[in-house]
Amino acid sequence: MRRLLFKQFAAVIMIMAVALASCKKEKDPIKEPVKVTEITLNKTSLTLYEDASETLTFTVAPDNASNKTIIWTTSDETIATVDQNGKVTALKAGKATITATTNDASGINAQCITTVTEPELTADFDVAYVKELENNIYPSFIYAMSEMEVQQGESFKYFTITVNPSRETDLRIVIEATALNTETVITQKTVKGKTEIVPAIRWKYGDFKNLSQGGVVDMTFVCYAGTDELARKSMKLSYKSINECILYMIENGKVINLTPLMAVYINENSPVIDPFLKEILDAGLIDSFTGYQSDAIGVINQVEAIFTRLRQKDIKYSSIATGSSTRTDYLLSQHIRFADEVLNNTQANCADGTAFFCSVLQKIGIKSYMIFAPRHVYLGFDLDSNGDDFLLLETTLIGEKDFDFWDAMDFQEDNFSDNLTKYNNDDYTDGYFFIDISAARKLIKPIGR
């Protein structure tokens, strides 16, 4: 009985202990979350180039803050963005405020003023001259091509400028003045990356006709962004005399016919032509110049009168004209005198005499041709306006008094007939070709002297 009472008493005591413990637990205070009181960023200001990025870091106080997570925002997403790891990416020049805000409703934040700038502007810059001209400038070629460019709407690429700026910018390229050109300024809105520019150089066309001797020029190209010089390129080039004419050029293995350019030397309006024709009339060599209003004999008589007057003026054949012709891997050129030089010097090589003859024949309305054979040139002319028949004339025999006019007409007959198939092919490199002066005149105007 006593044991039973003890067990009951012990059970009651245990129940009371449990109840007391439960009551005590319910009375403990609830713990409040510890809020952030301060955020510190590793930087309060940041400068980045466009397309660059940097990650901001932070610390919070107190150290035992319950929620240490941060929300990142930007004031202008067009200038700089920020992800939730604090990585700031610069987009374009300007300023944006990057804000780190607590995620515990405390409203505590910290800011970093981010300035985005354009990257330092640099530019790879190069200038190349057309390789086929082999560092030589041919003023007659530039003069002749200028007329063709106007009519055909295409420009010859003498220089190619390559510029590769580090970022998009407005460029200004200045080609400095030389003896051959005035200052040329090119403005180019370019994008980041490689850009090719073919400049339209302001050549001194009016001065070309007086370039009787060749020389050397330093062509300098300067690249600017605003007033800042980014780069410059200079190249030393030789220039030929105005008397050097390119007949053909080989570009990428293809022969380009440039023989019409010879028409710049055929000047029916040269100041010396009319006085020369007057001399013929005054000498009684012919009554009048009627062109194709005469029959075939009348045309021949007009040509003979020109031949005879040149002989009377003691025009002699000269084979020592400077560099009569020049052949390179890329082109063939011919040195040729103007009409005034032929009369003033009383000498002419085969090309000079033929060009002079063509100038006079064009003046009186007789269609003429310059006929080329390897290292030689002679004259062809139509007997009527339809071009149904034509004759040849060896102009170098003007100074050879053992040969008369009819000998000069017969001199190249066999040579021309034997090589007729070569004259009719398109291979100018074999040296056999002819220039129809009237056809060339439609594209090429004469150099005015």
What is the per-residue pLDDT across 349-408, written as a single tens digit (0 to 9) for each? 999 999 999 999 999 999 999 999 998 999 999 999 999 999 999 999 999 999 999 999
> According to the model, what pLDDT value does residue 323 have?
45
pLDDT of 175 over the 50 cut: yes
**Partners of 384 in beta bridges:** none
> According to the model, what pLDDT value does residue 29 have?
62
> According to the model, what pLDDT value does residue 25 have?
47
**Which strands, in side-by-side order, build the sheet including 215-225?**
136-137, 228-239, 215-225, 169-175, 184-190
Higher pLDDT, 128 or 255: 128
> According to the model, what pLDDT value does residue 72 have?
96
**347: three-class secondary structure by DSSP:** strand
pLDDT tens, position by position, 5-26: 445 544 444 544 444 445 444 5
Amino acid at 411: F
| CA 258/CA 249 separation, integer angstroms | 7
**53: three-class secondary structure by DSSP:** strand
- For residue 303, CA distances in Å to 138, 176, 285 come to 33, 49, 11
pLDDT of 147 over the 90 cut: no
**189: three-class secondary structure by DSSP:** strand
Residue-level length of the chain: 449
> According to the model, what pLDDT value does residue 418 have?
95
> According to the model, what pLDDT value does residue 191 have?
66
| CA 101/CA 25 separation, integer angstroms | 37
> According to the model, what pLDDT value does residue 19 have?
45
**340: three-class secondary structure by DSSP:** helix
Q: Which of 77-81, 148-152, 203-207 has the lowest mean pLDDT?
A: 148-152
The whole-model pTM stands at 0.75
Higher pLDDT, 203 or 16: 203
> According to the model, what pLDDT value does residue 14 have?
55
Mean pLDDT over each residue of the chain, to the nearest integer: 89
For the beta carbon of residue 211, count every other beta carbon within 10 angstroms. 20
| CA 142/CA 147 separation, integer angstroms | 9
Higher pLDDT, 221 or 148: 221
CB 245, CB 264: distance < 8 Å: yes
Terminal alpha carbon distance of the chain: 154
- For residue 430, CA distances in Å to 116, 174, 248, 421, 426 come to 65, 42, 11, 12, 9
Q: Which of 85-99, 115-129, 138-152 has the lowest mean pLDDT?
A: 138-152
pLDDT of 54 over the 50 cut: yes
96 pLDDT band, cuts 50/70/90, is: very high
Q: What is the mean pLDDT of residues 91-114?
A: 94
Amino acid at 388: D
Q: What is the mean pLDDT of residues 68-89?
A: 96
> According to the model, what pLDDT value does residue 2 have?
46
Q: What is the mean pLDDT of residues 95-111?
A: 94
324 pLDDT band, cuts 50/70/90, is: low
Q: What is the dihedral of CA 138, 139, 145, 149, to 10 degrees?
A: 120
Backbone angles phi, psi at 433, to 5 degrees: -165, 165
